[in-house]
Amino acid sequence: MACRKKAGLPRVIEILDVSKRYAAGAHAALHGLSLAIAEGEFLALIGPSGCGKTTTLGLINRLVEPSQGTVRIGGRDIAASDPAALRRGIGYVFQEAGLFPHLTVAGNIAVTPRLLGWDPALTLSRVMELLALVKLDPERFADRMPHELSGGQRQRVALARALAARPPILLLDEPFGALDPLTRDEVAQDVKRIHGELGLTTVMVTHDMTEALLLADRIAVMRDGHLVQLGTPRELVAHPADDFVSSMLETPRRRAAALAAALA
Ligand SMILES: Nc1ncnc2c1ncn2[C@@H]1O[C@H](COP(=O)(O)OP(=O)(O)OP(=O)(O)O)[C@@H](O)[C@H]1O
Ligand SMILES: [Mg+2]
């Protein structure tokens, strides 16, 4: 239902026939990829290691430049934008939280506001607000160093840092990869809540089809630099495009069946 409503919204991110070759003669990481993401959508990018997920995410904030093709945000070709200005509007959470080890939690979250020259009192109140948003008690956590945090807490700080300057777009590269299943589920549910509360457009890379099915409005399945299928969780489950997509759905199907049997 939510998706049908979103289908009418402008396509805020458009990847148009993009190919990427990291070096002349190298195997292409992306082959003519086209993908449009609607405003307010939560899109999951999924596929095997090396299929081009991080490369695709990087296209959106110009960490990766296309060898061919165009990327538009809000209808404008981002090749003409200033990368720093572009990235201010796009929060990015890296595969491994990537916090600055020598800065406190508050210092990490304040990095972008400080770069933007925000008033210190405003920055501090924003840091406190963000800690509450990601469910970390400001009293306990603001002054801690990254090495004093659990993996899940580090990912929460990375998320807060990515959202500090109120970007409308959030990119997440396997944000829960290193977390235990319970923590993973908790942080994932919080990301989904924050996505809705802030009205973000979110693109999340994941290896986990169950997670993609539970969190995303639409799922983009990639293989060898190609988009194999793009659809809602319901569409994927009902009509997998090929055996590859079917095989990716096997684990969640098995889990669902086992759970249903155990609870029967
Ligand atoms: N900076 C780079 N220079 C050269 N080749 C690269 C670079 N970054 C990625 N590649 C290659 O491009 C292909 C796609 O890489 P990418 O990082 O996008 O994969 P991925 O789907 O994110 O994989 P993973 O799930 O392991 O993170 C791979 O073959 C990789 O070796
Ligand atoms: Mg990757």
Per residue in 44-62, pLDDT (tens digit) is: 999 999 999 999 999 999 9
- Residue 157, both tokens: 């700080």
pLDDT band at 183 (very low <50, low <70, confident <90, very high): confident
Is the CB of 53 within 6 Å of ligand 1? yes
Per-residue pLDDT tens over the stretch 185-212: 888 999 999 999 999 999 999 988 999 9
Host H or E run for residue 15? strand 11-20
Q: What is the pLDDT at residue 11? A: 66
Could you tell me the CATH number of the domain that includes residue 81? 3.40.50.300
The token pair at 25 is 């003669």
Distance 191 CA to ligand 2 centre (A): 19
> Which of 18, 22, 227 to mutate to test ligand 1, by most ligand atoms within 8 A of the CB atom?
22
pLDDT exceeds 50 at position 43: yes
**pLDDT given for residue 10 in this prediction:** 59
Q: Identify which of 187, 186, 189, 191 has the alpha carbon closest to the alpha carbon of residue 203.
A: 191
Our answer on whether the CB atom of 65 is closer than 6 Å to any ligand 1 atom is no
CA pair distance 221, 228, nearest whole angstrom: 5
Q: Out of 2-6, 19-23, 51-55, 255-259, which region has the weakest mean confidence (pLDDT)? A: 2-6
Residue 23 in domain: yes
Q: Is 101 a member of any domain? A: no
In this prediction, residue 5 carries a pLDDT of 46
Determine, yes or no, domain membership for 253: yes
Average pLDDT over residues 178-182: 80
Q: Is the CB of 229 under 6 A from ligand 1?
A: no
Stretch 206-224: mean pLDDT:
94
- pLDDT tens digits, one per residue of 144-171: 999 999 888 999 999 999 999 999 999 9
**Atom number of ligand 1 nearest to Cα 48:** 25
In a domain, 10, yes or no: yes
**pLDDT-wise least confident of 18-27, 173-182, 200-209, 235-244:** 173-182
Residue 92: burial class (beta carbons within 10 Å; 0-12, 13-18, 19+): buried
The best mutation among 51, 203, 226 to test binding of ligand 1, ranked by most ligand atoms within 8 Å of the C-beta, falls on 51
CA–CA separation, 206 and 99 (whole Å): 20
Q: Is residue 6 part of a domain?
A: yes
Regarding the beta carbon of 196 and ligand 1, being less than 6 Å apart is answered: no
End-to-end CA gap in the chain: 29
Position 136 confidence tier, pLDDT thresholds 50, 70, 90: very high
- Cβ atoms of residues 42 and 215 within 8 Å: yes
Is position 134 within any domain? no
Tell me whether residue 229 is in a domain: yes
Going by pLDDT thresholds of 50, 70 and 90, the confidence category of residue 239 is very high
Catalogue the long-range contacts made by 13-16 (C-beta closer than 8 Å, 24 or more residues apart). Answer: 13/37, 13/60, 13/71, 13/72, 13/73, 13/169, 13/201, 13/203, 14/70, 14/71, 14/72, 14/73, 15/56, 15/59, 15/60, 15/69, 15/71, 16/69, 16/70, 16/71, 16/72
State how far the alpha carbon of 220 is from the alpha carbons of 123, 136, 171, in Å. 36, 32, 14
The DSSP annotation for 133-179 comes to: HTT--HHHHTT--GGGS-HHHHHHHHHHHHHTT--SEEEEESTTTTS
Q: State the residue range of the domain holding 67.
A: 2-40+48-89+205-263
What is the mean pLDDT of the segment spanning 138-144?
95
Structure tokens at 147: 């090495």
Pairwise pLDDT comparison (9 vs 211), residue with the higher score: 211
Nearest CA to ligand 1 atom 9: 55
85-119 confidence digits (pLDDT tens)? 899 899 999 877 689 999 999 999 999 999 999 99
**Residue 130 has what pLDDT?**
94
Domain count, the chain: 1
Mean pLDDT, the chain, as a whole number?
91
Cα-based distances in Å from 195 to 102, 104, 121, 227, 254: 29, 25, 26, 24, 29
* CA nearest ligand 1 atom 26, residue: 49
Note whether residue 73 is domain-resident: yes
